[in-house]
Amino acid sequence: MTQEPLDLEFTCQLFKALGDEARLRILNLIVQNGEMCISDLELVLDFTQTKTSRHLIYLKHSGILNVRKKGQWTFYYPKPKIKELISNYLHNITSDTVIKKDLETYNILYTNRELAAYKMTQRRYY
């Protein structure tokens, strides 16, 4: 797939958004899992609701994330036009110990059925 060209203003916003460790950790989890909700990110990253929400809003206003609601949960996912770009960028930090720990924590919580992501896969909507 060919990457859509980005304008200078958006690219500046993108680099500012990627210039924060908490936002990089959040983005990495979202990109790795396709989408995530606030409560799951809070559990995995051990962030407060305020901190998580603030960074998600920043990423949304920067044009990086979209939102969808499903029942009581709000899920964040990367905008299609930059998903590949973000994935390629984040691929360079996958060996970082903090990033590895985030993914391990996600997998443990998912396996233990503590995350909304797991609960959503088990629900049947008719």
Q: Quick check: helix, strand or coil at residue 24?
A: helix
Helix (H) or strand (E) holding 17: helix 8-17
Query: What does the pLDDT look like over 9-54, one tens digit per residue?
Result: 888 988 899 999 999 999 999 999 999 999 999 999 999 999 999 9
The DSSP code sequence of 25-68 is HHHHHHHHHS-EEHHHHHHHHT--HHHHHHHHHHHHHTTSEEEE
Going from N- to C-terminal start, the domains of the chain cover: 8-122
Can you tell me the mean pLDDT for 87-103?
93
Whether the pLDDT of residue 55 is over 80: the answer is: yes
Q: Quick check: helix, strand or coil at residue 73?
A: strand
pTM of the model: 0.87
What is the rounded distance in angstroms from the CA atom of residue 78 to the CA atom of residue 20? 17
What is the per-residue pLDDT for 126?
Answer: 38
Tell me the pLDDT of the chain averaged across its residues.
Answer: 89
- Percentage of the chain beyond pLDDT 90 is 63
Q: Which CATH architecture has domain 8-122?
A: Orthogonal Bundle (1.10)
